[in-house]
Amino acid sequence: MYTQKIFQAGNSSVVAIPKELLRKLDLKSGQSVVIKADPDAARLIIETSIPVQTVKKTASDAEFKNWLAQTLDEDSEILDELAKH
């Protein structure tokens, strides 16, 4: 367990993460993290953020677009009525 002071850096309040913890958790300076507050327990939770993965377009994307266009065209009257309510 570590006890750290909160200090001012510009307009932000900052808590330094000791190098040993960075190493243990394989975190690096500049890496994004998620900070959550647990007010009931008076604690902050810092978690590594999950990188967003890009999705490759496939033939099924084109198939889906075609299906969607066809469905919207075929059911346009019904969808227009539903949109009114």
pLDDT in tens, 3-16: 999 999 999 999 99
31 with 51: CB under 8 angstroms? no
Q: What is the pLDDT of residue 43?
A: 94
| 19 to 11, 33, 39, 76, 82: CA distances (angstroms) | 24, 16, 27, 60, 58
19: confidence class by pLDDT, cuts 50, 70, 90: very high
The tens digit of pLDDT for each residue in 35-46 reads: 999 999 999 999
Band (1; pLDDT cuts 50, 70, 90):
confident
